[in-house]
Structure 1
Amino acid sequence: MALCRKADQMKPCVFDNILKFEKRSPSICTYNISQKGACQAKDHKRAIEIFDNMRCGTDAISYTVMISHVFEKKDFQEVVNMLNRMLCDSYVISDSKLFGSVMKGLLDQLRLQDAKMMLMLTAQQNTHFQANIVNVVLGYYCKEGSLNTGNNVSLVSKGIEFFQKNFREGKTIYAPNVITYMTIIEGLLKAGEPNLADDYLNEMVSFGFHMNQKLYDIVLNGFISNGHVQWVESYFQRPENDAFNNDVAVWNIMIKGAISNGLFGLAQAYMNEMQSRGLKPDLKTFTPLLIAFYAHNFTTDAESLVKQMKIFGILIRLACMDLQVAYRKSCLAVEKKRFWTAMKKLEKKA
């Protein structure tokens, strides 16, 4: 245990002396500590030498240390080779979390082909990994689809095709989970495909997967962003979703959505209803409505909101900062003037 605790401080030469005992067979733990020391000392040659000459065999820790080291060096081809070697090692139980994190790293470095190769290798070895590995690749398509204007729908479509191939053919070893559907639904909503997102939402429920708070927020926000206010209102009012409505963030989404569609009365009604539930409004509750009131010159309503903000202990100067952002984004001269006047008034009250 003392050796394990001091591994980070000890130099590789210390481990060399330990491994040179001719009459003693070092344990795999000793080899792993020595290997980790070499990696931390940036001695790649020594780390490989230790890894290749372990007399007692390797384990998942040996591979994890080595793969992390190689990935840090950005030697992506060697990363793939090491993972393939791990899959072929009958004495090692492959770790799906390690594969998932490495694949995410490959995708973050835009190494899509390497990530796909890893997925193929796991399938060829009939490795029963969790769905998170496929979700990582699926997430890449959907994320890139939401970031690349003009190419978003095609990229998300590739992600859907990838999903169909890996989850629906009945020949693969992967099974979808809530994160799988969350990734697809969020990607489709960001790509402006709410109808298709609704289909996958229904499919998820039909397979027995339950909604969670994060996905619920994504669904509300995504459909509102696509202008489906009535659909969201209906979904929001469903009895089975009521448990998710005890979160201020949900009401903030609904209020902001109502305002973005010009439904100020509905936004005010949401604010009143959330308070009747015992939920305390925060800055994100008030700011969208405050900005909308000032933009439309509803100064009386705006001043009433400011009074409520003070009652709830919300700092007015924070609202001024949000108004300043709205002022900069506005392209209408009359609107900018209203925001400027409002900021000056609020600064005196702050």
Structure 2
Amino acid sequence: MAKINDEVVTQIVKKYGDVFRTGEVVFEETKNLQVIPVSPAIDVALGGGIKEGSWVILTGDPKTGKTTTALQFASNCQKEEHGKRKILFINAEGRLKSMNLEGVHGLNREEILVVDSAEGPMPAEDYLNIVVKYVTQQPNCVVIIDSISSLIPSKELSEDVEAQFRPGLPKILSIFTKKLANIVPKQRAIVIMINHFIANTSGMGMKRKIPDGGVKIRYQADTLLEVAYTKKWEASSGNQIGQLVHWRVGCSSAGGFPGGEAQSWLRYGHGLDYTQELINLGYEFGLISKSGSWYRCEFIEGDDGKFQGQQKLAQFLEDNPKHLNKLNEKIKEML
């Protein structure tokens, strides 16, 4: 029990258990929470990555890289230096495909538990109760719910399809987040909720689209990332090889500033392209210079750091991880 000499406190502890801690104890516990990287560009906007013991919401239009980004983060969480964390994937959309699982570099598919409905659709309550039990009993886990928008309450499953009622999902999500609010940080778990934009039919505000799921989950979120827009990523041949995803930060558990922005590079069949993101960041921070088609790495001495064309530069960095890591460390030092 916290060392607070107070008769009232003693009476409360006798009835409710050891519920008191000093502010110093809480401070020491929270300051040592690990921050886990997502990708170089996103990490810069978030202030380092995503902190354990937190809630995350990824919101965007369909096909904008939300699932890939969540799985890429999961692959980072599986690494030894980040705790070899257990991953639980709630496949509420029923759309998790082989290309999602093999198209993320470093992902260990054998170490991911995927929750699907056994027979017919599963109600939202069942999915969320599974999450509550798993997080409560599995410290340091990562849960991905894909997606909040696809969850359907049991009452709506049992009735005919119609739109003449008030949706019950926001209330269920409110109860869900309240039940896990104190458990997630104590278990040092990370809960990632993938969400969609829906049409704003309320007549309130100027936004045409708003996040689905109600406001309670947004209150609960420690990190909010929204996809502002995407662009095609084309090779010199003109073929599309991926997409550029422009993220906007609503808030960050790692200390990033609200309103911050990041551009991640999603390569098909590979996931988030760390090398491409580091090259762009290196150029922005003055660690890589460009003259015509020539690139020069200012952090590499001599002519070894000079390359004609970005593709040759990228290949060199991928073939020489020590230089890629050095570029990454230099960028972190400048933040």
Normalising by structure 1, what TM-score?
0.25
Q: Which has the higher helix share?
A: 1
Task: Compare the two structures and name the one with the higher strand fraction.
Answer: 2
**What TM-score do you get using the length of structure 2 for normalisation?**
0.26
Structure possessing the higher radius of gyration over alpha carbons: 1
